Structure 1
Amino acid sequence: MLMDIDGMTVTVVRKRIKNLYLTVSPRDGAVRVSAPAHVPDAAVLDFVRSKADWIARQQARLADIAPKTPVPDGQVSVWGRPYSLCFAPGQPSALADGRLRLSVPQDSTSEQRHEALTQFYRAALHDEITRRLPVWEAITGLYCAGWQIRDMKTRWGSCTPGTKKLRFSLALARRPLVCLDYVLLHELAHLQVPNHGSAFTALLDRYMPNWRDVRALLNGRA
């Protein structure tokens, strides 16, 4: 079965075992829990949350060592809109007229092109979070102590209520901006309510009444 735990998709497999076990796939960073048949879902949820920092460290390590996918000229998505991608040695990077032009060295390697695209997404996302997060903090009265962008494989964002630190997936730069607003609100709400119970959804309903539609758009179901 699949469980959505604080924005993270976790595969839970019931087995004839005595203890809970958690693994992070070295292939894609997916989280899997093996659980005894008699252990309730609430206990699985608490177990995964207790390992949240460890999971984040493992996924970050895997992102750092993962082989880079070659990036040819083609089409990419920026804030939910398609753009033609081209690499132009000696020219400044620019996003205009339906085209994303990235500056790369002459005879650039596929890894250099991948890194150029990654850095573009990171800068674009950083700018929007810097602009939008303070707005949502003012609206909700909930303030984080810091945030960072990570190449997260299985979630759009995460929150550590104890430290008030937020993390956001680099992939958000590909989704519509309203999806970023939803994730910002979602993670800020976890500063007050660490679970996804009725108090949490009430916060989302209060500040973004259409959040369910936006979540569907974020996850490609709209």
Structure 2
Amino acid sequence: MVTKVDIGDIPVDVVLKDIRNIHLSVYPPTGRVRISAPSHMNIDTIRVYAISRLGWIKKQQGKLRRQERETPREYLNRESHYLWGKRYLLKIIEREAPFAVALQHSTILMHVRPETGHEKKEELLDEWYRKQLKVAVSDLIALWEKRIGVKVSEFGVRKMKTKWGTCNPQAKRIWINLELAKKPKECLEYIVVHEMVHLLERHHNERFTALMDNFMPKWRSLRDDLNRLPVRHEEWDY
């Protein structure tokens, strides 16, 4: 059940759950705010918490609203798509043969059966992106395990609504956002390192920052580059 509270002129969705800690999230593209809180916590306490984080909320909303959005993709001939930050034109080839996607010079070739719909084309391209990303992430993990001195037990790729990556330090598992296949490889490397450093330090505290400074001195610049790039045009749900 979602309860609505207003913090000044900012509406906040409050969800009470069987959890131990309170979680605050600001969601793209418009900056909607949600707080997940333990079921025993009263609304007044949650309101005070939200007020204490008001500056952070407004900062996150500003960043999201300023970020450029991609136009919705229709998966038509000569439509622009990106791989590792480079622009390619889509070429649809209809034939009675297995589905396939391949890169050829400045073109992404998509082989589909006649009358293939938009959703299937999107699924095909997403799966192709997933394969590219898995190879790149695997190589980066192998490189950085030696440098950082940690071991990743498992990694995966999935669509994420609010994060570029996540880490479960206990399971030593990291997840990478599928959208990173469209961004420069340096940005992907920053996210992989960021999540791997969480295997040494769970929280975004001074120790985490010091570790990032040590392993990747230019990480702030890469973070800013990533946050300036256009993101998928989508009305995010949660």
The two structures have a TM-score, normalised by structure 2, of 0.67
Distance in 1, matches of 2:25 and 2:114, equals 38
Return closer, same or farther for 1:106/1:139 CA change in 2, 3 Å cut-off: same
Q: Residue in 1 aligned with 2:64?
A: none
* CA offsets 1:177-205 (integer angstroms, 9 cap, x no match): 00111011000001111111111011111
CA contact (8 A) 1:14 1:37 kept: no
Q: Residue in 1 aligned with 2:194?
A: 186
Q: Residue in 1 aligned with 2:41?
A: none
* CA offsets 1:22-75 (integer angstroms, 9 cap, x no match): 6989998x761173215765xxxxxxxxxxxxxxxxxxxxxxxxxx97422300
Q: Residue in 1 aligned with 2:67?
A: none
Amino acid at match of 2:87: P
Distance in 1, matches of 2:185 and 2:154, equals 21
Is 2:56 aligned against 1:37?
Answer: no
Return closer, same or farther for 1:26/1:72 CA change in 2, 3 Å cut-off: farther
Q: Residue 214 of structure 1: which of 199, 211, 222 is its match?
A: 222
SS in 2 for 1:152: coil
Return closer, same or farther for 1:69/1:98 CA change in 2, 3 Å cut-off: closer
| Stretches of 4+ aligned residues off by more than 4 angstroms | 12-15, 19-28, 38-41
Q: Which runs of 5+ in 2 are unaligned?
A: 9-13, 17-22, 37-45, 54-71, 231-238
Larger Rg: 2
Distance in 1, matches of 2:6 and 2:196, equals 31
Q: Residue in 2 aligned with 1:81?
A: 86
CA contact (8 A) 1:70 1:111 kept: no
Report the identity percentage. 29
Is 2:76 aligned against 1:72?
Answer: yes
Q: Residue in 2 aligned with 1:144?
A: 152
Distance in 1, matches of 2:224 and 2:203, equals 20
Distance in 2, matches of 1:116 and 1:106, equals 15
Computed over aligned residues only, the root mean square deviation of the Cα atoms, in angstroms, reads 3.4
SS in 2 for 1:143: coil
Q: Residue in 2 aligned with 1:199?
A: 207
Q: Residue in 1 aligned with 2:142?
A: 134
Aligned length: 184
